[in-house]
A and B are shown apart, each in its own frame.
Chain A
Amino acid sequence: MSQAFRTEAGGLVDRGRALAFLFDGREYEGHPGDTLASALLANGVHRVSSGIRTGRPRGIFAAGVEEPNALVQIEEPFPEPMLTATTVELYDGLVARGLRGRGRLAADPDPGRYDGMYAHCDVLVIGAGPAGLAAAAVAASSGARVVVVDDQIRAGGSLLGTGEHLDWVDRVAAELAAAPEVRLLTRTTAVGYYDDNYVVAVQRRPGLPEHRARERVWRIRARRVVLATGAHERSVAFAGNDRPGVMLAGSARTYVNRYGVLPGRRAVVLTGNDSAHDAARDLAAAGVEIAAIADLRDGWAITGVAGTERVEAVTLRTPDGIERRLEADLLLVSGGWNPVGALYSQAGGRLVHDPGLAAFRPDGNCRQALEVAGAAAGSYTLGVCLAEGAAAGRRAAEAAGLEAGAIVLPEVSDPEGRPPLAVWTLPGGDPATAFVDLQRDVTVADLTRATGTGMRSAEHVKRYTTAGTAHDQGKTSGALTSGVIAELLGVEVGALGVTTFRPPFTPVSFAALAGRNRGMRFDPVRVTALHAWHEANGARFENVGQWKRPWYYPREGEDMAAAVLRECWAAREGVAMMDASTLGKIDVRGPDAAVFLDRLYTNMISTLAPGAIRYGVMCRPDGMVFDDGTVIRLAEDRFLVTTTTGNAAAVLDWMEEWLQTEWPELRVHCTSVTEQWATVALVGPDSRRVLATLAPALDVSRAGFPFMTWRDAEVAGRTARVCRISFSGELAYEINVSWWDAVALWEALLAAGAPFGITPYGTETMHVLRAEKGYPIIGQDTDGTVTPHDLGLGWAVSRKKADFIGRRSFSRTDTARPDRKQLVGLLPDAGSLLPEGSHLLTGPDETAALGHVTSSYHSAALGRTFALALVRGGRDLIGQTLWATLDDGVTPVTVTGSVLYDPEGTRRDG
């Protein structure tokens, strides 16, 4: 029978429309306004899942985010694991199944869209129950900018569950929604509370077309925050307290009043406070037979629960000690109410134990600009909640310099109640079936074992037993766990405390956090002016930082090795060209620019004449190499320095830091011009002739344009700056033109070089060519523990300058050690290509490594494989044999100097 447990009338569901859904393969119906849990209960389904460790049947225990049991996997329309049936809004076509702990991630990309939103406000109210609505209404009356977030589909909070004053709720909600300075966000859960009142909330937006965001992550900065997050009911630990049909009393009340669903036909109630009596009254009015109310304050208890798939009977013990078995399909439990203190705790506030409340509540002394109102503060009567909320809203408006007006609150008279009694455990039965944490299957027996091993802190017991670490983060079990531990240790629960709450309050999907920053938007992709040409001509790309750089250009039928050998051969024997535009370029200018660069580089820059170029090395103060590049002197007061591609931003930051913090007296400005200049490296014995064709006015002779100088010239009809720099040991030029002229230059070079077989090459060939010459790549052949001397760059370290960054460190005993790792070359005896990272051993059976391979290639020029390596005392080992580790053994290698090709430098000038 469909929805046999739905009441005749009442509740906040739309009975006029039916929604069909599948659960565990069976078809059911529910209504708009239902959660998956309320719709299942309406159809008499209690068992939803199984305990993750015990496999015991588990049912629906609560009615909101605190649910520990009813874990489900959504299968359609898109798989989503680890949701709770109590928080999944029912929709037509929903397909779900119960989960035993772990779910299944989707194998396909999520087709949904997710987005991020930012908001600033005077007052952020978290929770739209009675306290939160009163706070928001008062604050809004002042004209303050107010944001209200609430995790339910409509405002009302606990009033939705009690069914009281809904007309007032609807009127206030409508006024807030219409107010121009107020943003009322329902279906929005505040999940994180960070420094300086920065709150992150996740908004669900079901039922929208696919192009609209399914979820939004709101990042809200608030002048003041009112926490009106309410309270969660907790259970009592007794044997069999996990059976389907055992339910928190307040949640059962919510199912009846809000959803028009009867969670059972005949109920026993176990409570230590008044609220469960109200629940019993509402259930009885709706037609549930109340078999008994066992009030712990009067000496009643429960000694047994019968039934496995569902509660069948409950054994009571009367105050006189007489046991009575009652048939029942529902056992309502109320061990008390815990103020929801997670966000308060995240904000840096402390939760203290309040004996009168029999619960932990916020201590009211948080350093952040917030206050707590209503049940979240431990006020459990409606009149007090409303008054506290209104007062909090008024103070929040005043803090923004605004004056709040009067609002209409419902007339309520709070009843005189009996104080609650905190009862953590009931004696009798097997403590291994008395659960404290249903989601982690942690029992009183587990806690007893933990305290038995000597653990005294709730944090230790949590980590040992995993209590409170499931995705419900112990919302219903945290205080109960502390209570039971305190009982076991014989200490006051207040002295023990509760474990720390950390974000997120409820699980958040990575898709929501990523928002739009997926795929192409994950990280910016930087391309050069020549990128389209590279793509059109079959380049394979490699990522260098955010840049896409051509890696190699395979021809038909070529693999990478063949393409790189061909490209290398062209550079060594003919002419080749590369897009070098990604090199970092920084314009350094000002009267003190030369002084500044002298302090920054290890070598002397100030003696450089305008028109000349010098290679330079930068170190950190600890003497370790940080970057290298060339320095071009454009004028007395102006330089252009280049950096490695990946380090361009870091070098600019480095310059700014020293200028601002140590040398503010220096008159220097640094400007990144990386993307203003496009750079083409023209390399090889025939490069001079190609350049001469395109720059007829430029004297390209050896004497007229010597190595390490630059000239302004017209190249291919474009304004260009040509540098005679070589990163390959060959005669070479770097031609710089405006980014806009790059394609014209590139194509002109291709045409002019065609008679010489000009060959475009990529980064792999560049690496081989430089490695043959022993030029290190910072970040590949170095790792932040390498000095210029270790690299054989001692010649680039000035002995004349009074000081430069890193100089003092070169005389530290550690940097002066003779057995430091030094850059050397390696020739594998068997001709194999060594894996980069291979360890280098002194013998085939040794295990202690002297160093490791940093670069390894096939060389067209040498006709063999070779490698660069950092080796302890390496320069003293030249000529000796070491052993390099491979996946399946070792191979002998001969240590050489790091310059393997043309060590005399005969090819540099063509």
Chain B
Amino acid sequence: MMLIPCPWCGPRDESEFHYGGQAGVAYPADPDALSDEEWARYLFFRDNPKGPFRERWSHSAGCRRWFSLVRDTVTNEVLR
């Protein structure tokens, strides 16, 4: 049971959170400018590293705030 630092509520049990996948995948500013392949990469392709990974979480059973953190996917350690 990871202890996840909510920026508003402080460290809380993992079970209060909802996972949001890789962080920093912005909605394209002009989707029409993208080829089908580029659009498909936005929709379907995400990194899956062994090690530090910047990802999104939502404190869904608490304050409902979305935020990003960096987690080591091997140790589950929250790095920042």
Contacts and interface: CB of A to CB of B under 8 A. Distances in A.
A367 interface: yes
Nearest to A658: B27
A661 B64 CA distance: 12
Contacts of B56: 661
B1 A194 contact: yes
A650 to B, nearest CB: 11
Interface stretch (A402-410, A457-465, A805-813, A891-899): A805-813
Contacts of B44: 622
Contacts of A660: 65-66
A195 B58 contact: no
Nearest to A621: B43
A657 B20 contact: yes
Interface in A535-555: none
Interface string B62-78: 00111000000001110
A196 interface: yes
B66 A656 contact: yes
A803 interface: yes
Contacts of A812: 36, 39-40
A143 interface: no
B58 A657 contact: yes
A198 to B, nearest CB: 4
B31 interface: yes
A621 B60 contact: no
Contacts of A662: 26-27
Interface string A777-821: 000000000000000000000000001000111011100000000
B32 to A, nearest CB: 7
Contacts, number: 55
Interface majority SS on B: helix, strand, loop or mixed? Answer: mixed
A175 interface: no
B3 A808 contact: no
B66 A661 contact: yes
A653 B60 contact: yes
Contacts of B40: 812
B60 A807 contact: no
Interface string A618-638: 000110000000000000000
Q: What range describes how many residues of B lie at the interface?
A: 20 to 34
A195 B34 contact: no
Contacts of B3: 195-196, 198, 221
Interface in A182-226: 194-196, 198, 219, 221
Nearest to B36: A812
A87 B18 CA distance: 39
Contact of A621 (B27, B64, B65, B75): B27
B50 to A, nearest CB: 15
B60 A348 contact: no
A801 to B, nearest CB: 12
Given A194-B1, A195-B76, A622-B43, A656 B31 contact: no
B1 to A, nearest CB: 4
Interface in B24-42: 26-28, 31-32, 34, 36, 39-40, 42
A367 B2 CA distance: 13
B31 A367 contact: no
Nearest to A807: B31
A22 B74 CA distance: 51
Interface in A647-669: 653, 656-657, 660-662
Given A657-B20, A660-B65, A660-B66, A348 B75 contact: yes
Contacts of A656: 58, 64, 66
A194 B44 CA distance: 31
Given A621-B27, A660-B65, A662-B26, A808 B1 contact: no
B31 A803 contact: yes
Contacts of A622: 43-44
Nearest to B11: A196
Given A196-B3, A198-B1, A808 B39 contact: yes
Interface in A316-373: 348, 367
A219 B56 CA distance: 26
A348 B75 CA distance: 8
Contact of A367 (B20, B65, B77): B77
Contacts of B34: 808
A661 B39 CA distance: 19
Nearest to B28: A808
Given A195-B1, A622-B43, A808 B66 contact: no
Contacts of A367: 75, 77
Contacts of A803: 31
A656 B42 CA distance: 20
B21 to A, nearest CB: 11
A809 B42 CA distance: 11
A198 B44 CA distance: 34
Contacts of B64: 656
A800 to B, nearest CB: 15
Nearest to A196: B3
A750 B43 CA distance: 51
Interface string A673-710: 00000000000000000000000000000000000000
B26 A195 contact: no
Contacts of A348: 75
B51 to A, nearest CB: 14
Contacts of A813: 36
B43 to A, nearest CB: 5
A647 to B, nearest CB: 15
A159 B43 CA distance: 62
Given A621-B27, A657-B58, A661-B56, A809 B1 contact: no
A221 B12 CA distance: 11
Contacts of B27: 621, 662
A164 B14 CA distance: 44
Contacts of A196: 1-3, 76
A342 B68 CA distance: 33
Nearest to B58: A657
A808 B65 contact: no
A194 B36 CA distance: 43
Contacts of B18: 653
A405 to B, nearest CB: 30
Nearest to A661: B66
A656 B65 CA distance: 9
A808 B31 contact: yes
A808 B32 contact: yes
A219 B1 CA distance: 10
B3 to A, nearest CB: 4
B9 to A, nearest CB: 15
Contacts of B75: 348, 367
A365 to B, nearest CB: 12
A653 B3 CA distance: 22
A550 to B, nearest CB: 30
A809 B26 CA distance: 16
27 contacts: A195-B1, A195-B3, A196-B2, A198-B13, A221-B1, A621-B27, A621-B42, A653-B18, A656-B58, A656-B64, A657-B20, A657-B58, A657-B66, A660-B65, A660-B66, A661-B20, A661-B66, A662-B26, A662-B27, A803-B31, A808-B28, A808-B31, A808-B32, A809-B39, A811-B36, A812-B36, A812-B39
Given A653-B60, A661-B66, A808-B34, 4 more contacts: A621-B27, A807-B31, A809-B39, A812-B36
Q: Pick the 6 closest A-B CB pairs, nearest first.
A: A808-B31, A198-B1, A196-B3, A660-B66, A195-B2, A195-B76
